Every structure is written in structure tokens, then in C-alpha cells.
Structure 1
């Protein structure tokens, strides 16, 4: 495409946004949808796009995947790719990098360590929405550190979605009391966070299962694997587990220095959840979520976040041996099946043998990213070391 064509395309997109804003009274937004690979047929993606654009007239959904046989909804656009995961991911990444889309809804995305997602579920007892921080990815490798960061990141997402003073509670898991103590220290030093309370007789900001059913707080803080399970259970309990029919999915990606808004849904997610995820993504894009997150982290750091993280870090066992990473190479393959507690040390075991690898968290759990040519050797090393 020539320079003149590029200028025309930019002008065209600007005019489209102006028309959309005038028509809907809000800023135009283009959200990509990874529209292949679901367990309920591709029509679910089209139905979701149709419903989302009907609910938000300034939203344009851009499908990414094989072009469907059925007619796509009016106003929807399409980026044609193959059906393989790597082809879908490549098409979505290119669209994000080039600015064709401002955010995306994906069925899978191996976020780098330090990036996680904040889901949103419909609590059944009173029908209240509740953010779950977090659901995929990992904000830190150690649970207590991650949960403290999740509280800050979850609060940022809630603020971006219009909750000015979100009530935050910590799910009563291993390490939760230390996390709650750290949050109390931040609040005492001026961090503008409101700690919610359990509905049980003994109260407190440590949440029980009953509190999740009732949605007593705006943000439930948990580790990523527990959060992932909660979203699945609450989203699919009416269908017996085969079809996620309720909620907004696993949420937008957030992290220190992270600039993209990528929301996650499951292969089991139905049209209603995918539609909600598209609207959730558009709202986060319009709210400039990465900027909101950066400001939230600034406030937390001012109140001593780094010091509290250091205290939690000091409580975990140190690595027996520090290993320097090999030269960075493109990572186009993944190894699954590593326990989350072994993830960092497993990566270092590969580094020690000269294989460059990165710790990441995919939608199904911990992932080691590495070059495809090293996969077989890496499998052998990890199995030999007891990590697989």
C-alpha cells in the first residue's frame, strides 16, 4: 500500500470514528475477536458480535480467523487467517501492532510473567457483578506477591469501569492474611483503597465462599489459578459445565508497563459471555486502562507497595543457584504441564543448559515459551529434572 493509500485509510478511519461518536454519543472503538476454535461453533462468535454492536453503536467488531460461510453481521469487519492457533494469534497481533484494532478478545494468549487479567462474574445470590483479580496470566511468580499486586490491578480495572471507590476483599487462601496485612499498611500510608468486609458473623476483609455467592465486595483478590476456576464455575454452573453462559469472561490484561488491552474468553464461552467481553474490552479501551493502571501503581508505590512486596519476597525460599539467561531468541513454541511453583526454577534449569526460555501463564495454566527447535531437548531436560 502506498503513502497516499495509507493517508486515505487513516482519514477514512477518523471519519468512521467521528460518525460513530455522533451516532452513539461515545468514542468509536474497534475490537478484534479471535473468531475460531470455540467448542460451540463459529456462529457463537457472530451472534456475540451482533449483540455487542447492537448494544454499543460506536463499537466495530473485527473478526480474526477463517472467513465464515454464514453472512457476518452488518458493520462487522474481518481479517482472514487460518484456523491454527498460531495463525489466529499472528493475525490478532498484527492488527494490534498496526492500530487496526485498539483492543482484542482472545481465546488464548500466553501473557509474559508480570501480566495478568481481571475477570468479571455475575454473582448468583443477588445478581451483582464482581471483579476477580486475577484469572489468567500471573502478576508475579510467588502467590503472596501476586495477590498483593492483583489487589492494586483489580482496583485499577474497577476504577476504569466506573467504580470510583471499589471495595476490595481478599479470598481466604494460603497467604491471604499476609496480603491483607500489607494492604492495611498501604491504606494507613494513604493508598486510596476501601477494604470490604465479609458478610459472615465474624466479618473482616478475608472472604469466604458465601461472600462470593453474594458479591459483598467489588473486587475479589485471589491467585490466578483459583480465579480461573471461579470464573469457570460461576459462568457455567447453570449448564452443567459445558457452556459458559454468564459473566464477562476472564477480563483485560494488566501489568506494570503493559500497554495492550487483551480480554480473554474460554473455548467453552457462549455468545452472551463473548458479547459481554467485547463490551468490557471497549469500555477498558475508552477508559485508557493502561494509563489508569499506571496511575494506580504510582499511588500504591507512593504508599509503600515496593517495600511490602519486598517483605513478602523475603518470606519465600531463595533459588539455590542464580543462572544467567542465554541470548534472547524468538519464542514460537510452548511447553505446558509445569507446576506453577516450579515455573521459575524450571526456566533456569533450561538456561543452565543453554536454552533460552521464558516463564508465562496461558489460559490453561503455567507455560514455558521457547524456540521450537529447542522443544524436544527442553522436554528431555525438564523430565529428567522432575518438572514434567
Structure 2
């Protein structure tokens, strides 16, 4: 080390002691191009974050007092960010747009009303897989990665009651049985399943709420703007970091309607995630998941054979008074056909917690056994 570097190090240490703040080596790029709320909205968040324990680089319109890289347009901003990552000049980025490849999705963080609990939404943008069932399985892993990087050692997991949730629950239970630790938490509603109701979303029952990215995107927007009229995001931490197998760029997404308070939180979210080694945890957990049969479980989503409706003779109609739940909406018709193939009359219906199969009292136990054997429940 030369004398100039030694002198700089001593001066930096002296400044840190005097200010009571010790800066890390973490550098975060923040883009200030494209906000619907104006450039000052973002610049204010950048300037108000300057005293934090990290360095900030500005990409877009140069900002006085910060190292800046001029870029105009989403494509140019994305190009500059990629170059900064490749050159190891930044550890994370906070931006309104980035073209993620399929296989990468973002995990947002909200603050739930009333209790003020932080909850991770897995996921909110991007797509872990083109198949929504497979994507939600991977989203669960992504959510666990982000929660662990932010200091939650054993985060609880719930699956939002949307299309595909029951299938995802079965596949995740299989992954868990194979040795990949998933800390499921039951719903606070009386049924107590791992499928989360709307009440659980508002209450923040799990640390991680699993859903598809389109649903997660809506959830983030509702939590962020419900106090501000819908067009100015004030609360929460944004749409979160990009995560995926072998993806090593921590890119935190905000929206063009994100306000200064939320952008400040997103910058803080980026710092805390990088400090918690989000990329390293991602590599480790994906390795563990694959050792527990993740690839085989993902591939098994496509393997289920459907009964041919033309080959099935509908049994004589019966009065159906009993119900069997726990079947996903995507499989309810197949479940009914499968029972009919086994000479049991069944009808599909919708209960208060989701789809159900209606069965006569006499056939209830037999029907359950058939559906369990075929892995519908």
C-alpha cells in the first residue's frame, strides 16, 4: 500500500470516528430516469439516503455531489447498470426498469396495516418460470433467500389462496420432506391450513407470502398506495431484489409511481440485503433445494395424466351432501372425472375457501382414498 492510500485510509477512519458513522464498501446505483412523479422525487430520496452506511452512484441525470453516469431511456439505463455490475463498481441497483431473463423474479416487502408487521411478497415482478405452478415453487425459495438475507433465520411461509395454490402446497411439502427446510405457518382462520386467506394477507400472518408475480404486483401496489389515493406509493420497500438460480445481480425494482419515502426504503432494503449476502445465500439455498430434488419436483408438474372424458361413463346421479376440499381449481374438473371413472358420482362446486368435490355420504371415504391415491389431495 502506497503512502497516499495509507493517508486516505487514516483520514477516512478519522472522519468516521468524528461523525460516529463507519461506512461499508457497499455501493448502490440508483436510477433517476422515468419517474411519473418527476426527477426531484427520486433525487430527494437519494440525497436523504446519503448519510447511510453505503455509497450511492446515480445513473440517469447527473446529480451534484454524487458520482453520476448519464443515461437516457430504459435501454440505456439498463446497459449502464449491467456495465457497472460487470466492472464490480456496484453491489446493487435500485431502478424502475430492468429486463430480467425468465428464471428471475423479485421479492417485495410491505408493511401490513394495524400491526405494522413487515412481510415479504414472493414474488412481484419478473417470472421464475413460464408455468405459474412451477414459478410459485421457485418463488418460495426466492422469498426464503431474501428473508434470510435480511436477518430472519427461519422465516415462516404461507401460500396465498390463488389458482394453483393447492398444487404448490403439495409440491413444496414434497420438497420439505426431501430435506429442504420450509417453515410453513397455518392460516389464522379456523381451517388452519397453509393456504393463506385475504385476512392473512392484511394481518401479515407469514413472513413470506407466496404468489405469482402478477398477483404480487397488485398486492404491492395496494399496500403501497391505499393511504395516498392509488397513484403515489408511500409505504413499504418496493418490489424488491431480483433472485433466481445462478443469478448474481441484486437489482431492486421500484415503480414509476414510487414516492420519496418508498424509494428511501428501497435503498435501505438494498443495503441490508447486500450486507446480509443475498447472492451468497441464493447460491447456497438453490444448491440445497436441488439436492432435495427441486428439478424432479418442478418437472413432475407436467407429468400428471388426465383421464379421457370420452372414455368415461357418468355414474347414475346421486344426492351429494358431503364435500372434499383441498383440491386446486386447476384440477377440480379432473378430480371429478377421475371419481366418475372409478364409478363414483361426483360434482364440482365452490366453497368459501376454494373448490370442492361434492359426494354422497355413502361414497365419501372411498372417494377420499381414490383422490389421495391419485394425488389430488
TM-score, length-scaled by structure 2: 0.75
Count of residue pairs the alignment pairs up: 303
In 1, Cα distance between the equivalents of 2:3 and 2:243? 33
In 2, Cα distance between the equivalents of 1:143 and 1:246? 28
Q: Which runs of 5+ in 1 are unaligned?
A: 1-6, 318-388
Residues 1:273 and 1:9: Cα distance change in structure 2 (over 3 Å): farther
The alpha-carbon deviation at position 111 of structure 1 amounts to 0.3
In 2, Cα distance between the equivalents of 1:249 and 1:108? 12
- Structure 1 equivalent of residue 68 of structure 2: 78
In 1, Cα distance between the equivalents of 2:289 and 2:59? 37
- Structure 2 equivalent of residue 198 of structure 1: 187
Q: Deviations over 1:11-53 (max 9, x none)?
A: 9998898789875356331100111210111111122112323
- Structure 2 equivalent of residue 33 of structure 1: 30
Q: Is the 8 A contact 2:238 2:266 kept in 1?
A: yes
The structure 2 residue matched to 1:108, chosen from 82, 97, 101, is: 97
Residues 1:220 and 1:26: Cα distance change in structure 2 (over 3 Å): farther
- Structure 1 equivalent of residue 47 of structure 2: 50
* 1:170 is the counterpart of 2:159: yes
Q: Residue 220 of structure 2 aligns to a residue in which SS?
A: helix
Q: Deviations over 1:156-211 (max 9, x none)?
A: 11011100000000111111101111111222222222001111111111011111
Residues 1:120 and 1:13: Cα distance change in structure 2 (over 3 Å): farther
Q: Deviations over 1:226-248 (max 9, x none)?
A: 11111011101111111000100
The structure 2 residue matched to 1:65, chosen from 60, 69, 81, is: 60
In 2, Cα distance between the equivalents of 1:125 and 1:306? 40
The alpha-carbon deviation at position 67 of structure 1 amounts to 2.3
Q: Residue 107 of structure 2 aligns to a residue in which SS?
A: strand
Q: Is the 8 A contact 1:249 1:274 kept in 2?
A: yes
TM-score, length-scaled by structure 1: 0.73
Residues 1:276 and 1:77: Cα distance change in structure 2 (over 3 Å): same
Q: Residue 69 of structure 2 aligns to a residue in which SS?
A: strand
* 1:281 is the counterpart of 2:270: yes
Q: Residue 214 of structure 2 aligns to a residue in which SS?
A: helix
* 1:298 is the counterpart of 2:265: no
In 1, Cα distance between the equivalents of 2:250 and 2:11? 21
Residues 1:179 and 1:95: Cα distance change in structure 2 (over 3 Å): same
Q: How does 1:1-388 map to 2 (within 5 A)?
A: 24-25=21-22, 27-54=24-51, 56=52, 58-68=53-63, 72=64, 76-81=66-71, 83-315=72-304
The alpha-carbon deviation at position 294 of structure 1 amounts to 1.3
In 1, Cα distance between the equivalents of 2:293 and 2:178? 8
Q: Is the 8 A contact 1:60 1:77 kept in 2?
A: no
Q: Which runs of 5+ in 2 are unaligned?
A: 307-377
Q: Residue 174 of structure 1 aligns to a residue in which SS?
A: coil
Residues 1:293 and 1:8: Cα distance change in structure 2 (over 3 Å): farther
Q: Residue 248 of structure 2 aligns to a residue in which SS?
A: coil
Bigger-Rg structure (1/2): 2
List 4+ stretches of structure 1 deviating above 4 A: 7-23
Q: Once structures 1 and 2 are overlaid, which stretch shifts more, 22-31 or 165-174? A: 22-31
